[in-house]
Amino acid sequence: MTHDKIAVVDFGGQYAHLIATKIRRLHVLAEIRQPEDPVEAFAPYRGIVLSGSPSLSSFGEDSGYTKAIYDLDVPILGFCFGHQEIAKHYGGTVVHGGREWGPADLHVAREHPLFAGLGRVEPVWMSHFDSVTSVGPEFEELGHTVLGAGGGEHRFAAIGSDRLRRFGFQFHPEVDDTVHGDEMIANFVLGICGCRPTWTMESYVEQEVDALRARVGERSVFLLASGGVDSTVAAKLLARALGPERVHLLHVDNGLMRKDESRQVVALLDELGLGANLTFVDASETFLDALAGVVEPERKRRIIGDTFIEVFEREARRLGLEGHLLAQGTIYPDTIETGGTKRADTIKTHHNRVPVIQEMIAAGRVVEPLAELYKVEVRELGLRLGVPREAIWRHPFPGPGLGVRLLCSTGVEDRAHFDELEPRLAEVARRAGIEALALPIRSVGVKADLRSYEHPVLITSGAPWERLLEVAGTIYGEVPHVNRCLWWTGGGAPGRARPLAATVTRERLELLREADHLVMAALSRHGLYDSIWQCPTVLVPLEIDGRGRELAIVRPVHSERAMTATPARLPAALVEELRHELAALPGVAGLALDLTTKPPGTIEWE
């Protein structure tokens, strides 16, 4: 049947495909369009959504895209950058300023179809540099935001013209942290655009199976099977489309796995009927040799990705499978965080998006059946394909494994921005009545769809959890060069933090492996494993006790699709258990909990 469709114009923001996903979950087909697509390409759609963008600014010169879409007689809704473009196109003003990160309260000005069924104050999620300060004559302010307790107002956070059917949100309704964002999108798609909800996951599976058969033809595929949710579901989908005899699996122990990981992976793939064409390789020495002496996060990611392909090609030659296509369990966040669209910024290079993989994709040698899906959809698909629930709901584990949770350092303090950072931090700490220490290391983050590589701040305070989160939000908003806040769980405040010279070694990996195992066991023991989306344990070569030991950081988060995340509160009893268990490990000085939302901090530290 013919489905009603919505076009999502991808300006390269982190959430463009998330918008499409949210629309598809309303059973309405959403398709990604590029900003330069001719206006005729938008003819089949009942409505248009304009996404955010990391590389374009509505402040200053006009950005280049097909503005003839504004002449179409269909509703248009813009988010963040898209909101600013709509305001500017119809006579409004946009300025470079008023930046906001994280949660805010939207105060709805009046009853309106976009907010049907919602309250007059709604929790929303902000991530922007530019702001709308006025609207054109046919527009009105539909809502403003207030950031945090006692925060200032941000005007024109929601705008609209009912006659023109043009609307804009400065906030991001597509992220799960905008509590009723799904309802706002539904009000636009089903209400204002009048779309019929006829598209389903079943139809997606049928279309993808047909597409895989057409794409692969008579060839076979060779899949790097990590045993994670993505690669496992990809293997099952490929087997359904091509038959298991044409799906060859390679599981590589890269030395960066969790405790007993490879044994569990092989057992799972056997259980799923995929073990007949499974090859297992212990390549840990190869990876550790390649990573020896490497410190910089992006270089580590690229080395891990390149080494995977070296091992893959070596094994393909050994098995006589050189002509096979490479299959990967790539999902959309892997692509968008690696700058996979024209305007997207590279937040971090995923192992399945290193340059050698990009070259293979360009040469038509790669098959990625999940590349348009998010984790929640992959899980839904996996359940439909018969993957056991415990495998489906396993915590996500990064492709580079513990390699991006084992931070490295030359031992030289990174204090380049401290002259500007420390006075501002001291002022925030004084007002909040807490102690805060800027750490002379950096971690990867994301701000307004752009990669940041900035400093964490260690907070020492006995304040309640909600107060700690509030202080962390203030620090992100007011202190430059900071993208992450931690809470020190030990007694007293560390007087100084000094980086230690450290690289990727088998000994450090074993220490991190054991720490990760203790954290996972504790979550299960307290019945929290299923309610927490992901809980990375990070080992940071940072001396805080004068004894040359490292800092362990635990980052429990709630999320749905990994594009945003909020820190998960752990019970005091669990925190105390972890504090003692981790400090008992040789080489660990103590425990800090990561309080950071995403944005401004990515879930993984590197």
Give the domain extent around 309: 201-401
Considering the domain architecture, whether residues 225 and 361 belong to the same structural domain is answered as yes
The b/e string for 65-93 (b: 16+ C-beta within 10 A; e otherwise) is bbeebeeeebbbbbbbbbbbbbbbbbebb
**Residue type present at position 153:** E
Question: Is-catalytic flag, 172?
Answer: yes
Q: Determine contact, residues 567/597, Cβ cutoff 8 Å.
A: yes
Considering the domain architecture, whether residues 394 and 422 belong to the same structural domain is answered as no
Are β-strands 221-224 and 247-253 bridged in parallel, bridged antiparallel, or unpaired?
Answer: parallel
Q: Determine contact, residues 311/286, Cβ cutoff 8 Å.
A: yes
State the Cα–Cα distance between residues 309 and 354, nearest whole angstrom: 10
What pLDDT, on a 0 to 100 scale, did the predictor assign at position 398?
A: 86
State the Cα–Cα distance between residues 160 and 78, nearest whole angstrom: 10
What pLDDT, on a 0 to 100 scale, did the predictor assign at position 147?
A: 72
Spell out, as residue ranges, where the chain has pLDDT lower than 50: 55-56, 59-62, 337, 347-350
Q: Final residue of a domain: which of 192, 212, 236?
A: 192
Instruction: Tell whether 382 is covered by a domain.
Output: yes
Cis omega before residue 599 (within 30°)? yes
State the Cα–Cα distance between residues 400 and 182, nearest whole angstrom: 33
State the Cα–Cα distance between residues 556 and 567, nearest whole angstrom: 6
Instruction: Tell whether 72 is covered by a domain.
Output: yes
Which tokens hold the place of 445?
A: 């983050």
Give the active site residue among 128, 144, 172, 251.
Answer: 172
pTM of the predicted model, to two decimals? 0.72
Give the helix/strand (H/E) hosting 23: helix 16-24
Return the number of other C-beta atoms located less than 10 Å from residue 309's C-beta: 18
Name 470's Cβ contacts closer than 8 Å, sequence gap at least 6.
148, 149
* pLDDT single digits (tens) 31-80: 889 899 999 999 999 999 998 775 445 544 445 789 999 999 999 999 98
Instruction: Tell whether 412 is covered by a domain.
Output: no
Considering the domain architecture, whether residues 132 and 273 belong to the same structural domain is answered as no
| Start-to-end CA span in the chain (Å) | 45
How far, rounded to the nearest angstrom, does the alpha carbon of residue 308 sit from its chain's CA centroid? 22
Residue 410: Cβ-neighbour burial (10 angstroms; 0-12, 13-18, 19+)? middle
* pLDDT single digits (tens) 12-31: 766 788 898 899 899 998 88
State the Cα–Cα distance between residues 228 and 130, nearest whole angstrom: 39
Q: Residue holding tokens 């669990």?
A: 574
Helix, strand and coil percent figures for the chain, each rounded to 5: 35, 25, 40
State the Cα–Cα distance between residues 315 and 251, nearest whole angstrom: 11
Considering the domain architecture, whether residues 294 and 385 belong to the same structural domain is answered as yes
Looking up residue 568, the CATH number of its domain turns out to be 3.30.300.10
Considering the domain architecture, whether residues 266 and 217 belong to the same structural domain is answered as yes
Are β-strands 550-554 and 588-594 bridged in parallel, bridged antiparallel, or unpaired?
Answer: parallel
Instruction: Tell whether 285 is covered by a domain.
Output: yes
Considering the domain architecture, whether residues 241 and 387 belong to the same structural domain is answered as yes
Considering the domain architecture, whether residues 469 and 389 belong to the same structural domain is answered as no
Please give the tally of structural domains in the chain.
3
Q: Final residue of a domain: which of 169, 192, 215?
A: 192
Considering the domain architecture, whether residues 581 and 481 belong to the same structural domain is answered as yes
Instruction: Tell whether 357 is covered by a domain.
Output: yes
Query: C-alpha distances in angstroms, 482 versus 446, 447, 509, 569?
Result: 11, 11, 27, 22
Residues in the chain: 606
Q: Final residue of a domain: which of 350, 376, 401?
A: 401
The b/e string for 316-335 (b: 16+ C-beta within 10 A; e otherwise) is beeeebeebbbbbbbbbbbb
Q: Determine contact, residues 578/554, Cβ cutoff 8 Å.
A: yes
Considering the domain architecture, whether residues 177 and 303 belong to the same structural domain is answered as no
Query: C-alpha distances in angstroms, 20 versus 44, 233, 515?
Result: 16, 21, 38
Question: Is-catalytic flag, 454?
Answer: no
Cis omega before residue 38 (within 30°)? no
Instruction: Tell whether 317 is covered by a domain.
Output: yes
Sign of the alpha-carbon dihedral angle for 571, 574, 578, 580: positive
Considering the domain architecture, whether residues 515 and 542 belong to the same structural domain is answered as yes
Give the active site residue among 174, 315, 372, 606.
Answer: 174
Instruction: Tell whether 410 is covered by a domain.
Output: no
Residue 239: Cβ-neighbour burial (10 angstroms; 0-12, 13-18, 19+)? buried
Residue 87's region, left for phi above 0, alpha for psi from -120 to 50, else beta, is alpha
State the Cα–Cα distance between residues 261 and 269, nearest whole angstrom: 12
Considering the domain architecture, whether residues 165 and 73 belong to the same structural domain is answered as yes
Considering the domain architecture, whether residues 281 and 345 belong to the same structural domain is answered as yes
Looking up residue 366, the CATH number of its domain turns out to be 3.40.50.620
Looking up residue 178, the CATH number of its domain turns out to be 3.40.50.880
Instruction: Tell whether 409 is covered by a domain.
Output: no
* pLDDT single digits (tens) 160-180: 999 999 999 998 999 888 999
Give the active site residue among 17, 27, 80, 324.
Answer: 80
The angle formed by the CA atoms of residues 199, 231 and 371, to the nearest 5 degrees, is 45
What pLDDT, on a 0 to 100 scale, did the predictor assign at position 399?
A: 82
Quote the DSSP letter at residue 52: -
Q: Determine contact, residues 321/371, Cβ cutoff 8 Å.
A: no
